[in-house]
């Protein structure tokens, strides 16, 4: 699997917010072996986690994926992305343009516009979007090389609210990397996403707020591996009727 030409082996992308301490965060990263972590420039600039946070992230060797969390307009998102590039020294950016304060649903119109601007400015954009096929097409036309459809509202832990839409995205974009982003609450949710043919899963709250973040991080990556293996094994399709596994021909007849 590749994201913008960078080969990725671990299909779990991990957020870095809300952990009990920087130490627990780095331990969770090491426990699951993730290669990519997301960081909000706005959150760190507004309060941050101190030197221990940055030292811990640098020590993991993970690739940083800055995000524009908290942005509600095109200008906010573009400005934040440029600041992040200066701070982190990467052209990668997870693009978020929030349109609804309660559900944190993306403003897909502003998202496409911001993506077009950032691609033109040399960014490699990871767009946080809905599961709408038309929006996905517009983002690819804008220059994005992957899509990050939500599973459910950010931090809700509701799992996959519309698996049929995700399945349709996989069928419609067979060669485009798809990363389920937001809403994953349990390992079974992550497994289900991979069984639908997704390429990776990005999550944060499910690990950060678990009673045992290290244990949950490990469980998530194992679930992702199991889901991927299940998808690759070409599982049977559901049936409306029961089908006996034992042949009825040759059964004994009682007279």
Cα 170 to Cα 4, 41, 65, 141: the distances in Å are 19, 31, 23, 17
- Cβ neighbourhood burial of 15 (10 Å; 0-12, 13-18, 19+): buried
**Shortest CA distance to 94 belongs to which of 85, 86, 102, 103?**
85
Q: Which residues contact 228 (CB under 8 A, 6 or more apart)?
A: 11, 194
Could you give phi then psi for residue 246, rounded to 5 degrees? -100, 130
What residues are designated binding site?
A: 155, 182-183, 204-205
The Cα–Cα gap between 128 and 42 comes to 17
Torsion angles phi and psi, residue 200, rounded to 5: -165, 170
Binding-site members for 1-deoxy-D-xylulose 5-phosphate are: 155, 182-183, 204-205
Catalytically active residues, by annotation = 94
């Amino acid at each position: 699997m590749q994201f913008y030409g960078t080969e990725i082996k671990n299909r779990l992308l991990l957020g870095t917010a809300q952990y009990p301490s920087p130490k627990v965060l780095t331990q969770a990263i090491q426990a699951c072996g993730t290669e990519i972590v997301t960081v909000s420039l706005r959150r760190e600039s507004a309060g941050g986690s101190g030197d221990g946070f940055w030292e811990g992230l640098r020590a993991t060797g993970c690739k940083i994926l800055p995000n524009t969390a908290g942005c509600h307009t095109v200008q906010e998102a573009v400005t934040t992305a440029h600041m992040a590039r200066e701070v982190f020294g990467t052209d990668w950016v997870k693009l978020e343009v929030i349109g609804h304060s309660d559900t944190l649903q993306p403003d897909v119109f502003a998202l496409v516009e911001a993506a077009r601007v950032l691609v033109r400015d040399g960014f490699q954009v990871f767009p946080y979007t809905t599961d709408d096929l038309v929006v996905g097409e517009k983002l690819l036309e804008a220059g994005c090389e992957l899509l990050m459809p939500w599973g459910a509202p950010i931090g809700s832990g509701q799992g996959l609210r519309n698996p049929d839409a995700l399945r349709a995205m996989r069928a419609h974009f067979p060669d485009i990397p798809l990363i389920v982003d937001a809403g994953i609450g349990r390992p079974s949710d992550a497994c289900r996403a991979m069984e639908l043919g997704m390429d990776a899963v990005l999550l944060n709250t499910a690990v950060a707020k678990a009673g045992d973040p290290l244990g949950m991080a490990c469980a998530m990556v194992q679930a992702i591996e199991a889901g991927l293996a299940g998808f690759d094994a070409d599982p049977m399709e559901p049936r409306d009727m029961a089908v006996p596994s034992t042949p009825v021909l040759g059964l004994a007849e009682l007279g």
